[in-house]
């Protein structure tokens, strides 16, 4: 006679795999992290699938923004910048080395060392990421490890992000137009990538910026007169792009540049 078999759906957070994934997905959309359309396609769908089925940290719906949504956003950043092709600290199955940021003067330095992206450890311990005491990410410094793809708009949902450095790679596409949501952002370095399009007008709303480095990309258009709104700017580079037009008069009002 045939042996009867049964499948046991292990509960996590008191939910089946499907229920938990549906709940996580609903949170990402309802909180405005990702649109209902984008979460159905890569890289957002890859990040959600990893969070639901592969991540052994087993975060639960309702665990809190800097435990759940933040982890999803960092996974989205990984997949969006083709993390499996990084030369350092990509997920374990890729077999890459994982050398930490070892210069104590660099913002991404972690005195405890670093773990790979998509590791089961808290994402605050992932390579190039640093968090405040409340476990919310303040710093992302991922440079010169063969990053490509695009910068996801979800990165602007890291509500406490202060420092963003994605220098030296082959990231293309546009600079996200919603970086102005990061009202505490002070440092943006997207130097030596392959970014296209114009410098978004919204970036000039980030009034706390003291560094904006967009050198060596393929940016087009003109430099907006709104550059004059960045009154705290001490360092600014846009060399080696495809920009045209005159330097606006408002640029002369940036009296803190170079100081």
| pLDDT tens string 39-53 | 999 999 999 999 999
The pLDDT value recorded for residue 1 is 44
The pLDDT value recorded for residue 9 is 61
**pLDDT: is 245 or 258 the higher one?**
245
Is pLDDT at 11 greater than 90 in this prediction? Answer: no
Cβ pair 196, 175 in contact under 8 A: no
Query: How far apart are the C-alpha atoms of 98 and 87, rounded to whole Å?
Result: 9
Query: 14-28, 94-108, 223-237: lowest mean pLDDT where?
Result: 94-108
Q: At what angle do helices 17-30 and 69-80 cross, to 10 degrees?
A: 90
Mean pLDDT of 236-246: 96
Q: pLDDT per residue over 153-200, tens digit each?
A: 999 999 999 999 999 999 999 999 999 999 999 999 999 999 999 999
Confidence band for 102, pLDDT divided at 50, 70 and 90: confident
Antiparallel, parallel or unpaired: β 235-237 and 129-131: unpaired
The pLDDT value recorded for residue 10 is 67
Mean pLDDT of 15-44: 96
Locate 45 and state its tokens: 């769908």
Q: What DSSP character marks residue 44?
A: H
Locate 13 and state its tokens: 């957070």
Q: pLDDT per residue over 115-131, tens digit each?
A: 999 999 999 999 999 99
pTM for the structure as a whole: 0.94
Locate 183 and state its tokens: 């009202």
Locate 20 and state its tokens: 């938990």
Q: pLDDT per residue over 59-72, tens digit each?
A: 999 999 999 999 99
The pLDDT value recorded for residue 75 is 98
The pLDDT value recorded for residue 6 is 45
Task: Provide CB contacts within 8 A for 101, sequence distance 6+.
Answer: 108, 109, 110, 114, 127, 128, 141
Mean pLDDT of 212-219: 98
């Amino acid at each position: 006679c045939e042996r009867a078999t049964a499948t046991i759906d292990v509960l996590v957070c008191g939910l089946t795999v499907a229920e938990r994934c549906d709940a996580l997905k609903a949170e990402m959309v309802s909180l405005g992290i990702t649109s209902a359309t984008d979460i159905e396609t890569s890289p957002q769908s890859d990040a959600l699938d990893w969070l639901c089925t592969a991540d052994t940290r087993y975060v639960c719906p309702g665990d809190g923004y800097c435990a759940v949504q933040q982890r999803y956003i960092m996974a989205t950043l990984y997949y969006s910048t083709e993390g499996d092709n990084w030369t350092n600290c990509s997920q374990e199955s890729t077999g890459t080395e994982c050398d930490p940021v070892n210069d104590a003067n660099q913002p991404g330095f972690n005195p405890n060392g670093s773990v790979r992206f998509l590791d089961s450890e808290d994402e605050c311990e992932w390579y190039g990421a640093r968090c405040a005491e409340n476990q919310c990410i303040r710093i992302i410094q991922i440079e010169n490890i063969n990053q490509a793809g695009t910068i996801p708009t979800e990165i602007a949902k890291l509500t406490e992000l202060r420092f963003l450095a994605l220098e030296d790679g082959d990231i293309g596409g546009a600079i996200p137009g919603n970086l102005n949501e990061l009202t505490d952002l002070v440092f943006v370095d997207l130097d030596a990538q392959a970014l296209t399009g114009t410098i978004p007008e919204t970036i000039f709303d980030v009034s706390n910026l003291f560094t904006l480095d967009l050198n060596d990309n393929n940016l087009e258009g003109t430099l907006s007169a709104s550059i004059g709104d960045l009154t705290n700017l001490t360092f600014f580079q846009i060399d080696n792009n495809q920009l045209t037009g005159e330097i606006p008069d408002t640029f002369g009002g940036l009296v803190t540049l170079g100081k």
